[in-house]
Amino acid sequence: MRRFSQRSHLVTLSEINITPLLDLAFVLLIIFIITTPLLTQSVDLKLPNGGKPDMPLTKRDIRTVEITSAGQYRFEGGEMRLRDIITDIARDFRSNPRLVVYIRADKACRYEQVANLLDGCQKYKISRYSLRMDPTPPK
C-alpha cells in the first residue's frame, strides 16, 4: 500500500488496481471466442434434397412394449402374447401412421424376443421403433 503525505497526516490508499484483471478477462474471452467454433465444428456434409421433416411426437403417437428377463411381453400395462401385441400395434398404426414403438427390454432377456418383436413390426411395415436404454452409466 502506498502512503501519501499531505501536510500533517498520512493517507493510506486502499484501492485495488483492476487493470491486470481486466486484461486477463479480455485475453480469456478472446481465447474462448477463437476456440469455440473449432470445438463445435463437425464434418461438412452436403445432404441431398428430399424427404420430409420429422414430425413432433405426442403421447398418443407412442406405444411401449416391455420384455421382462423371463421373456414375457407387456403392452399397455398388461401381460400379453406377442401375436396379440403385434395385432394391436398394426391396428393402431393403420389409424395413426406417425406411430412409434418404444421397446424396453431387460438386459437379461434373450435377444430372440427382441428380434421377434422387430420382425413382427416389419411384417406390418412399421418401421419407426426405438430401443430404449437407461441413460445412467453403471457404477
For the segment 74-131, what is each residue's pLDDT rounded down to a tens digit?
Answer: 888 788 999 999 999 999 999 988 889 988 888 888 889 999 999 998 998 888 888 8
Confidence of residue 10 (pLDDT cuts 50, 70, 90): low
Q: What is the pLDDT of residue 15?
A: 78
Query: Would you state the pLDDT for residue 36?
Result: 78
Q: 125 vs 12, which has greater pLDDT?
A: 125
Task: Answer yes or no: are the C-beta atoms of 67 and 106 closer than 8 Å.
Answer: yes
What is the pairing mode between strands 73-75 and 78-80? antiparallel
pLDDT, residue 82, reads 92
List all residues 6 or more positions away from 126 whose beta carbon is below 8 Å from its beta carbon: 89, 90, 93, 99, 101
Cβ-proximal residues to 98 (8 Å cutoff; 6+ apart), any chain? 55, 57, 61, 128
Identify which of 48, 51, 125, 121 has the alpha carbon closest to the alpha carbon of residue 86.
121
pLDDT, one tens digit per residue, over 13-50 is: 677 788 888 999 999 999 988 887 776 555 554 555 66
Q: What pLDDT score does 6 carry?
A: 57
Q: How far is C-alpha 121 from the geometric centre of its chain's CA atoms?
A: 24
pLDDT at 109: 84
The pLDDT value given to residue 28: 93
What's the pLDDT at 27?
93
Cell matching residue 29: 474471452
Q: Looking at residue 48, what is its pLDDT?
A: 58
Average pLDDT over residues 7-18: 71
Per-position DSSP letters for 29-93, written without gaps between them: HHHHHHHHHHHH------PPS-S-PPPPP-GGGEEEEEE-TTS-EEETTEEE-HHHHHHHHHHHH
